[in-house]
Amino acid sequence: MMNDSKARYGSITRFFHWSMAILVSWQFLKFFDRINDGEHWVGETLVPWHISIGSLILVLIVLRLGWTVKEKGNRPEHGSIIGVLAKIGHGLLYVALVLMPVTGIFYMVGNGYGLSAFNLEIIAKGEEVSWLINIGSLHSYIAWGLLFLVAGHIGMAFVHQFIIKDGTLKRMM
Ligand code: HEM
Ligand code: HEM
């Protein structure tokens, strides 16, 4: 079933969720640049895709937000206080998923590097723009915030699965 329902998330929502979960995990490998200045297998093989994958995530999150608005009244419900916290947590995840690529692009363009994704030039190299650099410098802080949010999110998925046992994980599988 493509659409969501009150009982479970449909295939389109699940496609967005799991494809982006994989791509965002890939993006976190950029933290490994802190080890030996990125001179290792991860840094030389997977991390060079950072800008291309980040740009792809921007496209996916715009489409996903549109889909979320469309399916809003049609999704599994969240009762109780844990449900309110889940809504806040998911909202923060969405905000971070928009801010990460936006600040990354501001960093690149602000420093005059331009933007190329998958060998395609999207924005040409140019002058430095200080206000873009200032906003772009938030990229790393937001990355740490997103990492903690994702860790809490995965932790809660396991709490639902193994402690509360209410089938929450199943509706996203
Ligand atoms: C959801 C998308 C993204 C995620 C999760 C992400 C995540 C990260 C992480 C974890 C770091 C390392 C931060 C640190 O070590 O403190 C980083 C650095 C960086 N990212 Fe991203 N990123 C994303 C998108 C992008 C995009 C689209 C661009 C560029 C167009 C970009 C450009 C950069 C740059 C240039 C750095 C190095 C910054 C520095 O050295 O201060 N990122 N990113
Ligand atoms: C980078 C990784 C991840 C991100 C950014 C993320 C983001 C989200 C977001 C925004 C939602 C709200 C529903 C939606 O709009 O699709 C959601 C729901 C959900 N996620 Fe994740 N997720 C990630 C990884 C995971 C992992 C690894 C698991 C399982 C271990 C998981 C389990 C779930 C479940 C069960 C739901 C449904 C929760 C409910 O209905 O209350 N997520 N996720």
- In whole angstroms, give the CA distance from residue 59 to residue 84: 28
The ligand 2 atom at the shortest distance from the C-alpha of residue 160 is 35
- Per-residue pLDDT tens for 73-118? 999 987 788 889 999 999 999 999 999 999 999 999 999 999 999 9
Count of structural domains within the chain: 1
**How far away, in angstroms, is 52 Cα from ligand 1 center?**
11
For residue 116, give every residue at least 6 positions away whose Cβ sits within 8 Å of its Cβ, in sequence order, or none: 51, 122
Residue 54 has a pLDDT of 98
Residue nearest to atom 19 of ligand 2 (CA): 172
Task: Assess if residue 64 is contained within a domain.
Answer: yes
Q: What Rg do the C-alpha atoms of the chain give, in angstroms? A: 18
For residue 118, give every residue at least 6 positions away whose Cβ sits within 8 Å of its Cβ, in sequence order, or none: 52, 55, 56
- Angle (CA) 52-72-105 rounded to 5° is 20
Task: Assess if residue 5 is contained within a domain.
Answer: no
- Per-residue pLDDT tens for 138-173? 999 999 999 999 999 999 999 999 999 989 999 999
Task: Assess if residue 136 is contained within a domain.
Answer: yes
- In whole angstroms, give the CA distance from residue 77 to residue 83: 8
Residue nearest to atom 2 of ligand 2 (CA): 21
Task: Assess if residue 3 is contained within a domain.
Answer: no
Which ligand is located closest to the Cα atom of residue 109?
1
Task: Assess if residue 6 is contained within a domain.
Answer: no
Half-sphere exposure of 16 (CA within 13 A, CB side): 20
The ligand 2 atom at the shortest distance from the C-alpha of residue 158 is 30
Residue pair 50/30 in contact (Cβ under 8 Å)? The answer is yes
CATH number at residue 128: 1.20.950.20
Domain that holds residue 127: 11-172
Task: Assess if residue 4 is contained within a domain.
Answer: no
Task: Assess if residue 1 is contained within a domain.
Answer: no
